[in-house]
Amino acid sequence: MGKIHPYLSVDTRDAANLLDGIVSANLGQMRRSSVGASSSFPILRGIQNGTVRYKRADRNEHWQTWGELMEQLQGSGKAEGDCEDLASAVAAELLFAGIPARTYVYKSGPSLYHVVVKTDRWGFLDPSRAAGMEGNG
C-alpha cells in the first residue's frame, strides 16, 4: 500500500474538523493492526510508562497518525509526538475501546493552540502534559 503526503493550509477554526479526520484515520489503522485489535491502549500506556514522550511541534507541522507513532514505538521502543499527534491517537484508542472521546482545540497563547482530549467520563485529558510537556503547548 502506498502513502500520500497531503499538505493542507486550514484556518484555525477548522483545525478541530481536520483532527476529527485524523482520529478517523487512526481508527482505520487500529482496525487493520493486530496491536489495535487487542485494544491494549499502546499509545496511552506508552505515555503512562514514559516510552511515548511529548516533543514540541516540528516546523513543518507534520501531523502524525497512530500508525506512525506505533512504527516509532515498535522500531525503537520509544515514540515522540506533539499535542495533535498524541491527542488524536489517545482519542482514537479510547473510541476504539468504546469510550466516547474527541479532540478539543483551544487557544493557549497569542498565536498558539493546544489540543487535548475531551471525554464524558473523565473530562479533559492532556496527553502532552502527561508525556512531559511544560508550559502552554
Q: 100-127 pLDDT, tens per residue?
A: 999 999 988 888 889 999 999 999 999 9
- Residue 135 covered by a domain: no
- Residue 7 covered by a domain: no
- Residue 105 covered by a domain: yes
- Across 66-95, average pLDDT: 96
End-to-end CA distance of the chain: 34
* pLDDT confidence of residue 77: 95
Q: What gap in Å lies between CA 87 and CA 103, rounded to an integer?
A: 6
Q: Which domain does 23 fall in, by range? A: 13-130
- Residue 87 covered by a domain: yes
Q: What gap in Å lies between CA 44 and CA 30, rounded to an integer?
A: 14
Q: Count of alpha carbons within 13 Å of 121, Cβ hemisphere only?
A: 9
Q: What gap in Å lies between CA 83 and CA 105, rounded to an integer?
A: 10
**Model's pTM, two decimal places?**
0.91
Q: What is the pLDDT of residues 37-62, one digit of tens each?
A: 666 899 999 999 999 999 987 777 88
Extract the C-alpha cell encoding 36. Answer: 489495535
- Residue 136 covered by a domain: no
**68 has a pLDDT exceeding 90:** yes
Q: How confident is the model at residue 3 (pLDDT cuts 50, 70, 90)?
A: confident
Percent of the chain topping pLDDT 70? 95
- Residue 4 covered by a domain: no
Which residues face 105 on adjacent strands? Answer: 115
Q: How confident is the model at residue 137 (pLDDT cuts 50, 70, 90)?
A: low
- Residue 2 covered by a domain: no
Give Cβ neighbours of residue 83 (< 8 Å, ≥ 6 apart): 54, 57, 114, 115, 116, 127, 128, 133, 137
* pLDDT confidence of residue 109: 86
- Residue 6 covered by a domain: no
**80 has a pLDDT exceeding 90:** yes
